[in-house]
Chains A and B, each alone.
Chain A
Amino acid sequence: MRAAVIVFPGSNCDRDLAVAFGQAGFSVDMVWHKDDRLPEGVDIVGVPGGFSYGDYLRCGAIAARSPVCNAVVEHAERGGYVLGVCNGFQILTETGILPGALLRNAGLKYICRTVGLRVETADSAFTGGYGTGDVIDIPIAHHDGNYFADDDTLARLRGEDRVAFTYQDNPNGSRDDIAGILSANRRVLGMMPHPERAADPGHGGSDGTAVFRALAGVLQPA
């Protein structure tokens, strides 16, 4: 089981994501943003939180055009697994792997707090450790987490059961309270909340652990 965590110069949750993958039993490679390929045999790519290129231009916009992101897109197109958290979610929407965009929070302020999330579908390698309808506590920490997509896209996401998580008490103005979505093949998850910050009893909450454990369960060699 191999995970690759992408490191942009302004990533700051790369280590945290690597630790969470490691605790779930993955061997983890850190992949530099200037690399144009992923290590051989990678099962899942983690695109971490942070400020990839300083959030200049638009969060994730420059990262989406980096050498390593071409490799991530190819990996996703081949049916590989990708988990994008926070800035990683922003980057995945900027690459077009996931639909929609993350706008500035409706309150215009950065928000860091633990929030309640509703698991909207347990039908994915990421959310299979939960039951649909479970409510879990996961921290958020972002300035631009206000999910936007047009009505057709929202209807399609709903119709295809691709909304992974919604906020219990919408903190940022996201349409339909959306906190995380899946790709059409259900192998790419983008989410604003940070499961890697609730992955260990020492964090004061470990509701995020199930994401990494579920992935490990699916990706374990038979």
Chain B
Amino acid sequence: MREPALSPELIDAHGLKPDEYDLILQIIGREPTFTELGIFSAMWNEHCSYKSSKKWLRTLPTDGPQVICGPGENAGVVDIGDGQAVVFKMESHNHPSYIEPYQGAATGVGGILRDVFTMGARPIAAMNALSFGEPSHPKTRQLVNGVVEGIGGYGNCFGVPTVGGEVRFHPAYNGNCLVNAFAAGLADADKIFYSAASGVGMPVVYLGAKTGRDGVGGATMASAEFDDTIEEKRPTVQVGDPFTEKRLMEACLELMRTGAVISIQDMGAAGLTCSAVEMGDKGGLGIRLDLDAVPQREAEMTAYEMMLSESQERMLMVLRPEKEAEAKAVFDKWDLDFAIVGETIAEDRFLIVHNGETVADLPLSKLASSAPEYDRPWEATPIPEPLADVPQIDPIDGLRALIASPNHAGKQWVYEQYDSMVMADTARIPGLGAGLVRVHGTDKLLAFTSDVTPRYVRANPEEGGKQAVAEAYRNLTAVGALPLASTDNLNFGNPEKPEIMGQFVGAIKGIGAACSALDMPIVSGNVSLYNETDGQGILPTPTIGAVGLLRSADEVIGCDVRDGHVALVVGETAGHLGQSALLAEVFNREDGDAPVVDLDTERRNGDFIRANRELIRACTDLSDGGLALAAFEMAEAAGVGLHLDDAPTEMLFGEDQGRYLVACNFDQAEALMIAAGQAGVPIQSVGKFTGDSVRIGGASAPLSELAALYRSSFAAAVA
């Protein structure tokens, strides 16, 4: 097939700006071929090159004594003692999920699982953070149903427990939903596999499923805004096959045990191109690929299509040549393709041969490292106007409004579609706080959470960025875990707009400050920009995924609320209602500033909870909806009524940070208050868990009635 001639329209259609194309001409000293243009476009789009965000990402804290491998590899690696490591990352699949919700979400899960097992880790937990438009928007129902089914369809079959996540609705996501998928795996700390190739003349091996035309140009699509031609983009979405992925994982882990693997890289965004360039660049080598050897699913595929295909469940590996037979036997056992498709070369070239002809011959290191990098202009987000008066309300009415909203209702409808218990090590299923998974065959457990409050980030990017990390810290603390490290999935609008770039810069500053202060370095992450439709951007949504460690089951703070237990708030309540859930759900207002996060206080209060875990029968962090919602959720989960002391609206629903709700018996409460006095931690008795009604001051309603509303309103809104 003849390749089309290059034209300004074709260059533009590849998402390359005229000055970027000029840079290509400068680098290679000639006009690129069509395949080469595709390769540049794949490597230089925002999704793969981080060209708008790199400058700021470098400012994040990524180190710590616990960090074995920070950002830059497929996933971050963190020491959990006893020679073991947890390997994790969070990644978005926003654009594909909006176009084709089931497959978009499914392959998002597939991609993140691959990132984890590529490093030699067996996935042991998954989470997902989802943001949708308002429930009444005509697309929302289909998106929610498709995305949730897609996540379940992939993760359940693959066999990884989904133990946490979040779901929110806001009109700002009407034109762009967010699907952020997290996965964590377990590996021996001294058996981590990396992507850097080494040695000249080593075989480059293609593993897994065959290459088809699906997903061609996906990464470029994911780096553009949407408009009304979106339906035409459907063919750029990949199709997932979790059964193949499961076999690919087992085969890769088995192969790694044979010592055959020099380096390995999964084929994700921009498939063969990105994975080959990554391996060569990191190893300071060139790569030669012979496309005739690539296992193909469709006839007469062009070099362009093969280099840009995002067919799923594929890996590229550099193999020790003497182990070839042994390696091939493993893949034969699992009925997967195994093909030598090229070799490492000494020259700095990315050389692609198809039908005996050279279709691309590019300087590999330049392709990887010369992507344009932008210092985009940015404008700081203005300080919000002070909060206007908020009227006092009947607290039960306020609670009812919150739990009737799918934002704050129980999420059973979602998480019961996910297998949360496969692998039989789940110690706490989704629902209330962080998920807990035992480290198989040891006494240890790992805790997982994902958090962000986009309303806060929009009002005040820096405080909002801090808050996302602080809430993750609290959720891990509330189950008794010591937070270890985090991953960030930064979802924003068009970075070419200074106000959006300002949100990004502010959020990064806040995240960086919080991660430093709370010792939760960022070890992996992903940036998703251009989440805009017809110029309308999403709420800035920097999702923080975080992992905590418990050395034994004795450290777990359970969820054991009994009739007669005292309710205590640890931390100080001032009554901050700006940008609160109450304001949004009851008064339809999103004004005021985000709550301030005092990182020293967060640290002190978190340490206090961990130090006194033996006195605590149940614990949850206070976030959206404040004390009233948290206390109700705890009561609902336990099936025990609640009596909260009378207090003004802002004290019941305020979202001051650094707070936990604790339940324990009277003696334990006394001891906890003495300990708090000694540690200088504010603590306050706010009521007790008792009876079968929810009573706040003088207002009350039967627990059963509120529980029924809480359990049904999510499905009522979107099912």
Contact = CB atoms under 8 A, between A and B. Distances in A.
A9 B419 contact: no
B422 to A, nearest CB: 6
B624 interface: no
Interface in B373-428: 412, 415-428
A78 B419 CA distance: 35
B421 A15 contact: no
Contacts of B604: none
B243 interface: yes
A10 B334 contact: no
A116 interface: no
B335 A50 contact: no
Contacts of A20: 424
A10 B423 contact: no
A152 to B, nearest CB: 34
A19 B247 CA distance: 21
Given A51-B242, A110-B152, A111-B416, A12 B421 contact: no
Contact of A9 (B334, B416, B420): B334
Nearest to B241: A54
Given A13-B422, A56-B243, A204 B157 contact: no
A88 interface: no
Interface string A8-27: 01101101100110000000
B159 A112 contact: no
Contact of B246 (A12, A141, A203): A12
Contacts of B424: 13, 15-16, 19-20, 196-197, 199-200, 203
A55 interface: yes
Interface residues on B, range: 20 to 34
A139 interface: yes
A200 B426 CA distance: 11
B243 A113 contact: no
Nearest to B412: A113
A10 B243 contact: yes
A102 B426 CA distance: 27
B158 interface: yes
Contacts of B420: 112
A204 B427 contact: yes
A10 B246 contact: yes
Interface string B419-448: 111111111110000000010000000000
Contacts of B429: 204
Interface string B163-204: 000000000000000000000000000000000000000000
A69 B435 CA distance: 37
A194 B242 contact: no
Given A141-B156, A204-B428, A16 B246 contact: no
A55 B157 contact: yes
A202 interface: yes
Contacts of B425: 202
A156 interface: no
A148 interface: no
B553 interface: yes
B159 A50 contact: yes
A109 interface: yes
B445 to A, nearest CB: 9
Contacts of A202: 425, 427, 438, 553
A9 B335 contact: yes
Nearest to A50: B159
A15 B334 CA distance: 18
Interface string A21-52: 00000000000000000000000000001110
A115 to B, nearest CB: 11
A19 B438 CA distance: 14
Contacts of A55: 157, 243
A10 B417 contact: no
Contacts of B241: 54
Contacts of A113: 412, 416
B243 A54 contact: yes
Interface residues of A, number: 31
A111 B242 contact: no
Contact of A15 (B243, B416, B417, B423): B423
Given A111-B416, A202-B438, A54 B157 contact: yes
A135 B420 CA distance: 23
B20 to A, nearest CB: 42
Contacts of B242: 51, 54
B432 to A, nearest CB: 13
Contact of B243 (A19, A53, A110, A203): A53
B152 A194 contact: no
A50 B424 CA distance: 13
Contacts of B415: 112
A106 B677 CA distance: 56
Nearest to B413: A109
A110 B421 contact: no
Interface in A110-126: 110-113
B335 to A, nearest CB: 7
Contacts of A50: 157, 159
A50 B422 CA distance: 9
Contacts of B158: 12
Contacts of A200: 424
Nearest to B334: A9
A203 B423 CA distance: 11
Nearest to B162: A112
B255 to A, nearest CB: 15
Contacts of B246: 9-10, 12, 51
A54 B421 CA distance: 19
Nearest to A141: B419
A139 B421 contact: yes
B419 A16 contact: no
A46 B241 CA distance: 26
Contact of A112 (B243, B335, B417): B417
Nearest to B430: A112
Interface string A186-218: 000000001011011011100000000000000
A193 B423 CA distance: 15
A40 B282 CA distance: 51
B419 A51 contact: no
Interface string A122-164: 0000000000000000010101000000000000000000000
Interface of B: 149, 152-153, 156-159, 241-244, 246-247, 250, 334-335, 412, 415-429, 438, 553
Given A55-B243, A112-B417, 5 more contacts: A12-B159, A12-B423, A51-B243, A54-B241, A194-B421
Closest 5 pairs between A and B when the two form their complex, measured CB to CB: A12-B159, A54-B243, A16-B424, A51-B157, A141-B419
25 contacts: A9-B243, A9-B247, A10-B157, A10-B243, A10-B246, A12-B158, A13-B159, A15-B423, A15-B424, A16-B423, A20-B424, A49-B422, A50-B157, A51-B157, A54-B243, A109-B417, A110-B418, A112-B156, A112-B418, A139-B421, A141-B156, A141-B421, A202-B425, A202-B553, A203-B427
